[in-house]
Amino acid sequence: MIQLTLAWFVFIYLTVFLAGILILWIGYEMLQKRLYFQASQRFIHCRICGASLLTSSSNELLSCHSCGSLNEPHHQGGL
């Protein structure tokens, strides 16, 4: 039988417990980033007023519900 002192038992218990928490934390952060990235792909901001617009799969111009300006659904960069 393995002789295990109380100090080693506490050390192993805490190591396994903290490693489990760390793994859950990293997994949760990766899931959050993935969901944020997917959500950011579906929304764009109006170039005039900054309102959020929901993009569609087609490439037609989106009309802003606040100011009425037309926005490209998939634009990259600034000027």
Query: Applying CB under 5 A, which residues contact Zn ion?
Result: 46, 48-49, 51, 64, 66-67
Residue 57's CB is within 10 A of a number of other CB atoms, namely 5
Q: How far is CA 43 from CA 22, 25, 67, in A?
A: 32, 27, 17
CB of 75 to Zn ion, least distance (A): 14
What three-state secondary structure class fits 62? Answer: strand
CB of 42 to Zn ion, least distance (A): 17
Q: Which is nearer to Zn ion, 23 or 70 (CB)?
A: 70
Q: Which is nearer to Zn ion, 20 or 50 (CB)?
A: 50
